[in-house]
Amino acid sequence: MDRVKRFAVPVLSIFFLFLFCGIAPGAERGPMKPIAPMMIEHRLIDRILPVVTAVKTDMERTGKADTEAVAAIVDFFRFYGDEVHHGKEEKIYFRELGKKELSPRHRALMGELIGEHETARKIVGSLAAALDRYKKGDGTALKDMEEALGKLPGLYSEHIRKEDRVLFIPSLEYFSPAEQQELLEKMRDYDEKMIHEKYRKTVSDLRAKYQ
């Protein structure tokens, strides 16, 4: 089964890239769709989910936490998952989609997805807090980390399934080709700024502590 997955995931990803770039066999070459950056980001999030489960299983087996792995997971979901990815959805795509005359089903789904972003933030916040407590020797923190790690994969895989398969593709019809291009440009600008903001914050946090 794993071998099938290892083969199927890259093949499907390449197919999606063809689809998004408008260069599927027989199709005319066209501009990338604005849902493409978000769907490509979903593939990286998909790849960390089994790791989250493995870190939790390892914790349960050993009774100890790999604090570096948990810190990396917290950073991934806070920076990449939330600021970069949810940020792109909420501050660009959903914001513009919300201005359209959406069907009641699409509007409800968009609200549900934004609510799930909030749930993910809370889970990652409790994981980060439990990691801090664990580092300080709090004996109850391990269970809390396991609980948070146990919730993330299910939440994200279902969330991503709804976005990829239910909302994103039909939602393109609400936007004109020019609007789609504008959304794509906004997303590119957003990504460009993001890395600079991350390290500006690192420097200002360090300066606040040491200067």
The residues binding Fe ion (CB under 5 A) are 89, 163
Cα 92 to Cα 6: distance, rounded to the nearest angstrom = 32
**Quick one: how far is CA 94 from the chain centroid?**
14
Structure tokens at 95: 């914001």
Structure tokens at 41: 């980001």
| Closer CB to Fe ion, 89 or 146, in the complex | 89
CB of 123 to Fe ion, least distance (A): 14
CB of 86 to Fe ion, least distance (A): 6
Contacts of 121 (CB under 8 A, 6+ apart): 82
CB of 89 to Fe ion, least distance (A): 5
| Closer CB to Fe ion, 59 or 73, in the complex | 73
CB of 150 to Fe ion, least distance (A): 20
| Closer CB to Fe ion, 52 or 131, in the complex | 52
Opening angle at CA 194, ends 88 and 80, nearest 5 = 65
Closest CA to 180 of 33, 22, 40: 33
| Closer CB to Fe ion, 119 or 204, in the complex | 119
